[in-house]
Structure formats: C-alpha cells, structure tokens
Chains A and B, each alone.
Chain A
Amino acid sequence: QSVLTQPPSASGTPGQRVTISCSGSSSNIGSNTVNWYQQLPGTAPKLLIYSNNQRPSGVPDRFSGSKSGTSASLAISGLQSEDEADYYCAAWDDSLNVHVFGTGTKVTVL
C-alpha cells in the first residue's frame, strides 16, 4: 500500500553527504507534513525528522529534512558508520485517510 516512493538504496563513504528522496502526491505530501524514521538493524523505528524539517531532541544536526510540493528529502551530512540503517518517510494521506509510509531506503556506508 506504499504510496510514497523512495529509492531502495543509497550509499556513501564516511564524511560524505547522502540524500534520500520521497515522492508522493497532492493527497499526502502535498497536503500534510512529512516525517522521517530511522530503523537500525534489528531495532524499532526511531523518529528522525517531524513536520518536514524538525529534529526531535537528541537527533544530530547532520540530519535535515525538506519538502517541496509533493516531494520530500532527507539529507545526511558527514555520513558515519552508525548511520547504516533503513530510512522511511511518512505522511498522512487525505484520500486514503491513513498514515502512509514510504517504501524505505537502505543506506550503506562504504
């Protein structure tokens, strides 16, 4: 049921900047705010970015979010080995009346 599309994978070397895209539509990203979740291997998801670009307390400022129209992006600057994880975007969808998650992107640190 994923209506938010993400690239399946992204990678970079330590210190590099990696960007993950999230493509939606007018009924979800276009109408509501976007969140990003980080899921480290074998653990529960963790809120990384909420309301498009807000970081919860404790999240490093290396992580930043943005939104434009019906798309959103997560940027990781100064990539670190501990950033290896799956990343999911999410937003409310007004047409489906459901909170939808993106397809997920696996980030690998080379």
Chain B
Amino acid sequence: QVQLQESGPGLVKPSETLSLTCTVSGGSISSYYWSWIRQPPGKGLEWIGYIYYSGSTNYNPSLKSRVTISVDTSKNQFSLKLSSVTAADTAVYYCARGVRGVEGGYYYYYMDVWGKGTTVTVSS
C-alpha cells in the first residue's frame, strides 16, 4: 500500500524559501501526478500544483511565481520550494498522489493517497 510522508523545517523566516520533501513508499513514483496542497489554520484547502513523474509541472497561478516542484525518481521523492514566504504561507502542507485523465469528454483529476501533513510556520 502506497504511503506518503512529508518532511522539512517546521519554522521558516519571512522572505526565505520553504522547502519540503515527500517520500513515497510502498509503490513506484512512476505514472502519477504528484501534488502539493496546503491548508492555513482554520481555513480550507488550496491546491499548490503537481509534477508528473517525467518532470512536467502545473502550478496554481496564484503561486506560480514563487513555486517550484521537482521529482527525484531514484529516491522516490518529490519536493516543494516556495520562495519569499510571508505569514500568509503558514499552513499545514500535504503531499498527495494525483490521478489524471480524460473519459467521455470530461477531464478528471483527483488525489487518492495523501500524506499526514506537516505544519509550517512563517515567523521571525
């Protein structure tokens, strides 16, 4: 059974870069869309973006200028970098496995396996 685990610093200073890694165990990183989602305290979910195992990416336009998602297939890991962080980037960050395709003319994309999440606080 595939499991995902986020790791990285829990505290980041304003204007610095947030860096997180998601390790995939129990399965291969191939053939899926590896995603990052975040949830500010007491608020809803926000999709950050995904990377296909081959390296192609798709980012949320609202974060695109600051986000980089990369993949290391040899380590079965993918990573998130978010630059120039502010207090508004304080959130629980989740990694997830995404499934995407087209069926009957409709585009589908859903995230079927999630990590437990890691809390990142932006503060000096």
B103 touches A47 (CB 8 A): no
Which residues of A have CB within 8 Å of B26?
Answer: none
Instruction: State whether the Cβ of A1 lies closer than 8 Å to any Cβ in chain B.
Output: yes
Which residues of B have CB within 8 Å of A100?
Answer: 47
Q: A33-B106, A92-B107 are in contact. Are A46 and B114 (CB under 8 A)?
A: yes
Alpha-carbon gap, A92 to B47, bound state (A) = 10
Complex partner residue of B114 from A35, A44, A51, CB under 8 angstroms:
A44
Q: How many residues of A contact B (CB 8 A)?
A: 28
The smallest beta-carbon distance between B70 and chain A, in angstroms, is 19
Q: A97-B61, A101-B45, A101-B47 are in contact. Are A44 and B110 (CB under 8 A)?
A: no
B45 touches A45 (CB 8 A): yes
Q: A44-B114, A45-B94 are in contact. Are A51 and B62 (CB under 8 A)?
A: no
A90 touches B110 (CB 8 A): yes
Instruction: State whether the Cβ of B14 lies closer than 8 Å to any Cβ in chain A.
Output: no
A33 touches B108 (CB 8 A): yes
Complex partner residue of A32 from B37, B46, B108, B116, CB under 8 angstroms:
B108
Flag A84-108 by CB within 8 Å of B: 1 or 0 each: 0000101010101111111110000
Which applies to chain B's interface (DSSP): helix, strand, loop or mixed?
Answer: strand
The smallest beta-carbon distance between A70 and chain B, in angstroms, is 13
In the complex, residue of chain B having the shortest beta-carbon distance to the beta carbon of A98:
B60
The smallest beta-carbon distance between A106 and chain B, in angstroms, is 11
B44 touches A103 (CB 8 A): yes
Which residues of B have CB within 8 Å of A2?
Answer: 44
Which residues of B come within 8 Å of A, CB atoms?
35, 37, 44-47, 58, 60-62, 94, 99, 103, 106-112, 114-117
The 7 A-B residue pairs whose C-beta atoms are closest, nearest first, are A99-B47, A50-B110, A33-B108, A35-B110, A101-B45, A44-B114, A32-B107
A–B Cβ pairs within 8 angstroms, 25 of them: A33-B106, A33-B107, A33-B108, A33-B110, A35-B111, A45-B37, A45-B45, A45-B94, A46-B114, A47-B111, A51-B103, A51-B108, A88-B44, A90-B45, A92-B107, A94-B107, A97-B58, A97-B61, A98-B47, A98-B60, A99-B109, A101-B44, A101-B46, A103-B44, A104-B45
Known pairs A1-B60, A32-B106, A92-B109; list 19 more (Cβ under 8 Å).
A31-B106, A32-B107, A33-B106, A33-B108, A33-B110, A35-B111, A44-B116, A45-B37, A46-B114, A47-B110, A50-B99, A90-B45, A90-B110, A92-B107, A96-B61, A97-B58, A98-B47, A101-B44, A101-B46
